[in-house]
Structure 1
Amino acid sequence: MHSYMNIKKSARISHDFWEVTAGAGMFDIVVSGLGDGRHRALADGHEFVNMSSYSYLGLDTHPRIVQAAADAVLAEGALNSSTSRMRIRFGSLREAETALSELFDVEALTVASCAAAAWASLPLLASGLLTGDTPPLMVFDKNAHFCLNALKPAVADEAEIVTIAHNDVDALEDLCRKHPQVAYVADGVYSTGGAAPIPELLRLQEKYGLFLFFDEAHGVSTVGERGRGAVLEAMAAHGGMNDRTLIITSLNKGFGASGGAIFLGPNGARRRRDTALRNGGPLMWSQRINTAGLGAILASAELHRTAELKELQLRLQDNIALFDSLVETSFSGDGLPIRFVDIGSEEATIRLAGELLQRGYYTSPIFFPVIGRGKAGLRLMLRANMAESEIRDFCGALNEGLRAEGLGVNGPSADRPSVNSPSADRPSEPVLAGPARGQSR
């Protein structure tokens, strides 16, 4: 019991933090959208900029995508088919998966969310059905997303599990030497900042046949040719997606549509596609992406083939660089849109987040169980549709708040490792085997 999950313990430890967050008005804010990442709180009319939006390219409000979502519902005459996709599916589902497959040169299957994609594919991989009927040793990165760690009990019914330190390539290679089949489970881009050492992992794959399983929820669209993300961009130099790699992703973050997807290698994909559809949990019996979401996927896939996508990516890079010039964090200069401001104290983190909200900027205070106790901080997301003046004003308010908390303006204090650092301490009694950060998407 509690080898991999202990929800009661997690709830007990985090209860006070959540109560303070709610009391500070930082939780369950009901808003009306004003577009471009701005909101108005319905309770008091307070307007603020969302500094925690996953819409990295601003596509969630793109007129063509919004219109396509509405048109798809009207064209099909129904929001849902209300039948398993294995039995009956609308033509728009086939069209959306074909568009994704051709855009990213993969075999794409869609599901209702990225978490559902993990649920459908991780136990399948552990069973051995994707590795020649031999269950692999399942190696989880310690910082793998919560939706991956939460499936450890199901995975453990199929295969042995090992958790290694964050981005510990040496430990992974040692396991590859000792075991004939190894699968590594990690994020391509981590939800609180940083990325997997993808070139080193591809080296291990080529040398040992390592199977790579990536959550690319925060990578797709934001980087890479036609928005293919950090993993597929790195794999392009190795011939593209292969049969020893599986990627899950969100389609409602950078992609600006709805749902999630599973990417399989395109070679011999029919067999693996059928295996996934017939045995992959939510692919078999859960609801599909609704018709509006499918229309949005088609429109976004089309946009990803235009010059506008590159323009948005470049604008995002400019905004990331501007932020990095004003606030130093552990991953300054990595070109990714997620930043974590290390504070340490949960109380100070929530207090600072509340002050920033009053000044017109919503930030996410992150604490246990998303990260270790005493490692709290603010998670920030940069977007292509942020104005330069907004970024400058926010960074000024953030630095002022950090000074007031005695933290300075240049990131974490010298005597405390950043939460983003692989050497940062973790809780001595993890709620998950290999505690996860990034619990919230």
Structure 2
Amino acid sequence: MIWEELEHSLADLDRDGLKRRRRTLEAPCGPLACVDGRELISFCSNDYLGLASDPALIDAACAGAREWGVGSGASHVVSGHLLPHETLEQRLAAFTGFERALLLTTGYMANLAIVPALVGRGDAVFADKLNHASLIDAVQLSRAEHERYPHGDLAALERLLSASQAKRKLILTDAVFSMDGDVAPLPELLALAERFDAWLVIDDAHGFGVLGEHGRGSLSHFGIAAHPRILYMGTLGKAAGASGAFIAGSETVIEWLLQRARTYIFTTGSSPIMACALLASLDLIEKGDDRRRHLRDLTTQLRDGLAGTRWQLIPSPTAIQPIIVGDNHEVVRIANALLERGLWVPAIRPPTVPKGSARLRVSLSAAHTSAMVGQLIGALQDLA
């Protein structure tokens, strides 16, 4: 029977320690989760500033629903582009320093919008090997040549660019790598893009709201101003606490995406409720220096607390703090041991991360307290 192959494949995943388990939360997103009737301290969420359940966002969403309803009713290019969407796009462009921004429903959809609209057959994309799955899929959809360089290896990237005879070139990178927490060398990547006349597309899903002046993101973190060859993608379901994504760039390139990006044109516009909530979120992000300072303090506390133990922390200046374990079954065992102590830390395994690098991915939030992080440190010290 045709489904027997799927059953065997699922059994293989279970045998190799790769089968995922979805849990149902019985409480809103926050540092305390309720799963199967148990209260857990959650270190799973990408809600880095603790805004997902902030009263200001809830009030804005409720007011938005009363004024604008729930759905947009159509694609943005038909009749689904409402005033809250337009206002949010203008605010995002001004906040990031670009001429214009385009709002999409998810970061995945945004990445699938950018790459196929800019390059195709006969062109080449030069991508970091640790890029997010959405960036990998975007290149495949574009039908451009896919040149992958070793993670952060600028010399290898330069050689590939120099040897390429492609008509158009595009450098593609995460800004903050979601499983390692390190930051891409954006100034050097921009210099190579200038030298080889390439686009530079930056996915700042995990930097927007957290890094840079007033949370303006990874470009601001490096002091890089808006540039006509840069396309900047930021997600709005992580530090911004809601959902959606945006692409920021020059007037010309954003207009081109509006005309040609399939995942923008051929999908219903996002709910106006989200746009209203995100306008409130931007205010909190801009005024959120205390939240970001607290987040940095928690990061330092965790790293200092685990120094000298068996736990191998990847160098990361961000809220993403991966602890390398290696073996798939072992990382699941440790995650389960933490869960028994009321601490929820996800076990990340291949293909999300390279084979042999299974890890605990600790995600810190400004909503965590020092005591919560101290409890995690104590449990890991005991398990060590």
Taking structure 1 as the reference length, what is the TM-score of the superposition? 0.79
Q: Deviations over 1:254-307 (max 9, x none)?
A: 111221111113xxx0x322211111011101122212111111111222333x
Structure 1 residue 151, shift from structure 2 partner: 2.6
Q: Residues 116 and 143 of structure 1: is their aligned pair in 2 closer, same or farther, counting only changes over 3 Å?
A: same
Please tell me whether residue 65 in structure 1 is matched to residue 57 in structure 2.
Answer: yes
Q: Deviations over 1:198-235 (max 9, x none)?
A: 22212223433332111111010011112111134324
Please tell me whether residue 15 in structure 1 is matched to residue 3 in structure 2.
Answer: no
Match of 1:80 in 2: 71
Is contact 1:123-1:154 (8 Å) kept?
yes
Letter matched to residue 161 of structure 1: H
Please tell me whether residue 398 in structure 1 is matched to residue 380 in structure 2.
Answer: yes
Match of 1:427 in 2: none
Match of 1:301 in 2: 282
Is contact 2:201-2:231 (8 Å) kept?
yes
Q: Distance in 1 between matches of 2:29 and 2:145?
A: 47
Q: Distance in 2 between matches of 1:18 and 1:207?
A: 45
Structure 1 residue 139, shift from structure 2 partner: 0.9
Structure 1 residue 34, shift from structure 2 partner: 5.7
Q: Distance in 2 between matches of 1:18 and 1:71?
A: 49
Is contact 1:17-1:346 (8 Å) kept?
no
Please tell me whether residue 96 in structure 1 is matched to residue 88 in structure 2.
Answer: yes
Structure 1 residue 12, shift from structure 2 partner: 6.2
Is contact 2:125-2:139 (8 Å) kept?
no
Matched residue of 1:59: which SS?
coil
Structure 1 residue 20, shift from structure 2 partner: 7.2
Which residue of 152, 167, 184 maps to 1:196? Answer: 184
Which residue of 145, 149, 156 maps to 1:164? Answer: 149
Please tell me whether residue 376 in structure 1 is matched to residue 370 in structure 2.
Answer: no
Q: Identity of paired residues, percent? A: 24
**RMSD between superposed Cα atoms in Å:** 2.2
Q: Distance in 2 between matches of 1:394 and 1:125?
A: 45
Is contact 2:17-2:328 (8 Å) kept?
no
Please tell me whether residue 175 in structure 1 is matched to residue 160 in structure 2.
Answer: yes
Matched residue of 1:184: which SS?
strand
Please tell me whether residue 114 in structure 1 is matched to residue 107 in structure 2.
Answer: yes
Match of 2:344 in 1: 362
Match of 1:417 in 2: none
Which residue of 17, 37, 40 maps to 2:31? Answer: 37
Q: Distance in 1 between matches of 2:12 and 2:249?
A: 37
Please tell me whether residue 343 in structure 1 is matched to residue 343 in structure 2.
Answer: no
Structure 1 residue 136, shift from structure 2 partner: 3.9
Which one is further off, 208-217 or 82-91? 208-217
What runs of 5+ residues in structure 2 fail to find an aligned partner? 1-5
Q: Deviations over 1:155-184 (max 9, x none)?
A: 22xx22211111110011122323364311
Please tell me whether residue 140 in structure 1 is matched to residue 100 in structure 2.
Answer: no
Taking structure 2 as the reference length, what is the TM-score of the superposition? 0.90
Q: Distance in 2 between matches of 1:292 and 1:111?
A: 14
What runs of 5+ residues in structure 1 fail to find an aligned partner? 1-7, 129-134, 404-441
Matched residue of 1:304: which SS?
helix
Is contact 1:175-1:182 (8 Å) kept?
no
Matched residue of 1:213: which SS?
strand
Is contact 2:172-2:201 (8 Å) kept?
yes
Match of 1:263 in 2: 248
Matched residue of 1:151: which SS?
helix
Please tell me whether residue 283 in structure 1 is matched to residue 264 in structure 2.
Answer: yes
